[in-house]
Amino acid sequence: METKDFSSSKLVTDYFAALKDKGLQLPDFSREIGRNGYYPGQTFHAIGLVIVPATDTLPTPYIGVETTEGVTLSVKSLMGLSSIRGYQLEGSYPSEFLTKEGEKATEQIEAAVINGFRFDEAFQPSTRNFLDFVAECEASKFFEDKTITYLGTVVRPFVAKKPSNPSFSEQYKEGFARCITAKLWSVK
């Protein structure tokens, strides 16, 4: 993946250095990874941007928003979606995968949003390019003193048309029921 010059952004260049220090390449920012334990309507008070370093349990550093609650929220997660077309706002959906032993297993993925949810309240970044957005936020101190509210998780169920890439953390086969999840946030 080719990257443009981010030398004017100390945060982005420090992030590149943290990745290089761990022998890692720039992640694919088009994929959302992981889940959280936040509940719809939970609020956080932003302090500013930080780089969360890699650890034994966190193999890849990431850029987050530090909060007064002691939680660091992933900037990638805060960027949300430009549209929720095809996503479900409530309900439980099966997501099938292969265990380490190669057995088929199913996990139920929950969609839940705040009461009275309106998509126009979901945060929309100035650009969908992750690194451009981070550089803009750093320059403008965008996240400082903001209130961030978790609006919930939406789910887009689908049937896999081909098997997973071997590099994916969760393996599946063609025909498996799968789910794409996205977290939605308001930033004010």
pLDDT reported for residue 5: 64
d(CA 172, CA 63): 29
Mean pLDDT of 95-102: 94
Contact 89, 154 (CB under 8 A): yes
From the list 35, 185, 178, the residue with the least C-alpha distance to 104 is: 178
CA 34-104-158 angle, to 5 degrees, is 60
- The alpha helices in 28-108, defined as continuous H runs, are 75-78
From the list 171, 147, 172, the residue with the least C-alpha distance to 160 is: 172
| pTM for the model | 0.77
Beta-sheet pairing, 43-52 with 91-98: unpaired
Contact 159, 54 (CB under 8 A): no
Q: What is the DSSP string of 135-173?
A: HHHHHHTTTTT-EEEEEEEEEEEEE-SSPPPTTSSSB--
pLDDT reported for residue 2: 44
pLDDT band, residue 35 (cuts 50/70/90): very low
pLDDT reported for residue 70: 87
Using one digit for the tens of pLDDT, what is the confidence trace for 57-98? 777 888 999 999 888 999 999 999 999 999 999 999 999 999
